[in-house]
Chains A and B, each alone.
Chain A
């Protein structure tokens, strides 16, 4: 979930109970205020009535257009003593003019008249309908909530986007970052100190990483170089022994095995050097090459070398395909892909080589799919094949990366497919 949506969601959820509490407080405050007003009016009215009753004046008609109604009843002294002098309450009264019952505020007061008799005056005044008020308040609270939400979220989003601009710039930069590539510097144009620090931290991390990568490359290169001389000594001594020691057949077979192991170390070392060189971009010159001619030449060679495996080869290639590429890299790419197919084909299996459009597809029979995410990694080996350096496909990827070619692997129809998009 994007941060911005998370913020919007939290804002909405937080505003909901806040608005509810606010609505409740607002409602009760308003009801109290209205009752206060009504009570004041009732008190005034009742005072007028009481004065008139005491003065023996004519009392106002019950229906004087004010919707107020009143009644006076005589009560006993005990009743007067047991009730407060003035009390208010809400009730429903029937308004004859309107022919309906309406909510009303009622004032009940008990007073002695001129003769010392207790009388109870009830004055009723129609007030608002609570349900109506509640509905209105609820409606407006909802409207207000939505409005407030829209405003709050909208403002937040705008402010957020504005303020987070440097973060998105940094994220875009990180998305486009490729280790070992000549990357542009980390964007750091913000004047917000947190973002400046973040950018600086990212720059430092990237620098450190690049530095380590460089050191690692150099280390592999140097280590391989340092190994060349001892390997030369070892190889020379072995040869000298074979040439001059008059070894028995058994010992010669042993020496041959030593030679093949040694050759494997030498090859591994040489391949690591080649890989380091490719990754260091030491094959810059490019020229126009016919890839088809290269593939045909290599295909014939492997067919000869691996003739004993009886592999059927299905070649579908156009007349020619010109590509601007470094010659050595093209050779590394094609030859390792082809070698891979021949080496990993079972005996009597089949290999398919096709070039359609700009896609070279090299496929061979295989049992189960390989890990597509790791197959181009160094020393990723599907099985323990003796003599394999585990670097062939790493070379392919390095050569492809250097030449702007994308290589991919997938498994379909019981076959391994390696594709290169030129």
Chain B
């Protein structure tokens, strides 16, 4: 995918660029509103990552211009503001997603993937990796075309990893993503381990070609065998 990153903070911009290039995306960057306007006038992109607080202009205006001129770029707003109103405003103005800072890189790539699926018409079939497919909308998972019966939390975990293949996920980050903010003070992650154990057993028994590997001392990582 061809992605334009509009972000004024050099370190974050460089990091996003490097990380997305590693995932085989074509990445361009813009530091300012003016630079972004120039690039968008000349090139077309699949996805625009837009920081709405730019030193020389309001990112939302850029979004408005893009949408009013009928451009097809998917736009993901990246913002330090994460209140509901900010999100609603961004989405109402035509953004495809809203990612509050600070975010995980894995999260960023998952959002880009998800936006791409929606805008490029591949959304119906869900996410497929190896012989495993999950459909987040209908909460169904299948291995090699056969349905895989999963409990709610097991499905959430599988779907979380399917959207972040190859990324090492910290167990606490996973717990927070699946169980919500409520886990933030948990001393022990046994509840994650037990769900994970069941999920891995079910995947193995169904003959899945993907595996959620334990990364000792840190968490887990989904790999294709």
Contacts and interface: CB of A to CB of B under 8 A. Distances in A.
Interface of A: 225-226, 228-229, 231-237, 239-240, 242-244, 249-250, 252-253, 255-256, 259-260, 263, 266-267, 270, 273, 277, 282, 298, 301-302, 304-308, 328, 335, 339, 343, 385, 387-389
13 contacts: A228-B102, A233-B9, A235-B102, A243-B105, A253-B216, A256-B170, A259-B172, A263-B184, A282-B85, A298-B182, A301-B179, A301-B180, A389-B184
Interface string B69-87: 0000000000011111100
Q: Top 4 closest A-B pairs, CB basis?
A: A253-B217, A232-B102, A228-B80, A228-B101
Interface of B: 9, 11-12, 15-16, 18-19, 22, 80-85, 100-106, 166-168, 170-173, 175-176, 179-188, 190-191, 215-219
A267 B82 CA distance: 13
B106 A239 contact: yes
A339 B183 CA distance: 9
A233 B10 CA distance: 10
Contacts of B18: 240
A233 B11 contact: yes
Nearest to B216: A249
Given A236-B16, A282-B83, A305 B182 contact: yes
Contacts of A253: 216-218
A24 to B, nearest CB: 82
A302 B183 CA distance: 8
Contacts of B100: 228
Contact of B101 (A232, A240, A277, A328): A232
B207 to A, nearest CB: 28
Given A298-B182, A302-B182, A335-B182, A225 B15 contact: no
B219 A273 contact: no
Contacts of A263: 170, 172-173, 176, 184
Given A244-B22, A252-B217, A282-B83, A233 B105 contact: no
Contacts of A305: 175, 179, 182-183, 186, 191
B200 to A, nearest CB: 19
B173 A273 contact: no
A387 B101 contact: no
A304 B191 CA distance: 7
B149 to A, nearest CB: 20
Given A273-B82, A339-B182, A252 B215 contact: yes
Contacts of A260: 170, 172
B92 to A, nearest CB: 16
A259 B173 contact: yes
Contact of B184 (A267, A277, A301): A267
Contact of B12 (A226, A233, A256, A306): A233
A242 B216 CA distance: 12
Contacts of B167: 239, 243
B65 to A, nearest CB: 24
Given A225-B81, A259-B172, A273-B82, A233 B15 contact: yes
Give the most central of B84, B182, B191: most A CB within 10 Å.
B182
A242 B168 contact: yes
Instruction: Point out which of B11, B185, B188 has the most chain A C-beta atoms below 10 A from its C-beta.
Output: B185
B105 A307 contact: no
B101 A259 contact: no
B185 A385 contact: yes
B101 A388 contact: no
Given A267-B184, A308-B188, A256 B218 contact: yes
Nearest to B79: A228
A243 B166 contact: yes
A343 B184 CA distance: 10
A236 B105 contact: yes
Nearest to B22: A244
B218 A252 contact: yes
Contacts of A229: 9, 12, 80, 101-102
Given A273-B82, A282-B85, 9 more contacts: A228-B102, A231-B102, A236-B105, A239-B106, A243-B105, A252-B217, A253-B216, A328-B84, A335-B182
Contacts of B84: 328
